Structure 1
Amino acid sequence: MENIKSNGSLFVAVTGAQGVGKSTFAQKIYEQTERLPSTTACLLNGLGQSIRAFGIPVGSAASADSIASVYAAHIERERKVKADIVVLDRCAIDALAYVRCLSKTSKSLSNLYEQVSASMFRNISLVVRLEKSGIFEQRKADHESDELRDCVDTQILSITKEYGLNTISLNAAVDGAIEQVMCSIAKVR
């Protein structure tokens, strides 16, 4: 897929199943990008927490309305950001994986989410897909079943391949993982 930088920003999307270390990993990438000379960096995180703070159900309890709320939050935060490098803790890839796994929306709404996601993917320069492996294999979240977590993990991989996204897959706990991502960022800049 051709990459178009939104407002000149390079978007690095950290994605993966629940509990694979996305937030911690995204924070570490942000800290490294913030140190780059003559570069502004921004971390867009906390989306799930802010959605839950409004009492909107997520994970296994998600509804068609909560899926719409998640998409609106993704669109709003990405549209407003101004930085050279933007690190996304979760992105439209995750949202689309949930749409596909939860089957809570009509066929026409599912198609709309596919099209919105495809449009949003055009802004992503690099996808960092964190694997559900090692210490992250058995981590659980109160709001997600094991089946949903497995489905989301599978769909994220499928989506990145289907849309031809520039993706690196790795285990967040492996030594050198951050350095590998920083090298990939340097290549796409």
Structure 2
Amino acid sequence: MRKTLLLAVLSLPLLAFDCGGGDSQPAPGGFGCSLEVRGAVSEDLWCIVTAYDYSAMPTMPTNEWVFLLVAYRGQPVAGGALPDPAAQVGFFLTGRPALSQPYGWSTTASTVDSGSATRGTGSVQAGTYAETHEALAPLDPLDPSSGTGALATRFTAIPAAAATGAQLLGVHGTLEGTLPALDAGGAPVTIRATF
């Protein structure tokens, strides 16, 4: 259920605000988030990051804290519509994170309740999107090897528990990870983001 909920809320940043901005900005609206992909694929993306504290939202079916990063290729089109996503990172924690502490997973340990990181090609809007790389947090905390890849995130700022609207964008920090290829024998990619 958590993965389904995570996938559903990944679309929330698309609806939360007007992006605006010109073509020369690396991140529309001055969000200051960038993600680089290196390895089997090399590309630089801009991103939008949000954090939700579900304990402050009584209509949600969970009390967890969630982090979401959606990275895009290209620039918004007329009317503020966003281009197709190229990569996503999202994870749940059982409570609010502490600043400067690592959160993520590897094949030997996990500090998240659940999570995933993906990179893909094609267009969601055209129905041609396909994931090429994916890292998954272990589903069994007693068996960290049940996960794939690795992710490490450190926060330097997070929104207040009762944050709404544009306040949800007040999350800052860094992340890096390794995403294995979904094709057997394919090479992994590394991702690194500053937000």
TM range (shorter): under 0.3
Report which of the two has the higher share of strand.
2
TM-score (ref. length: structure 2): 0.25
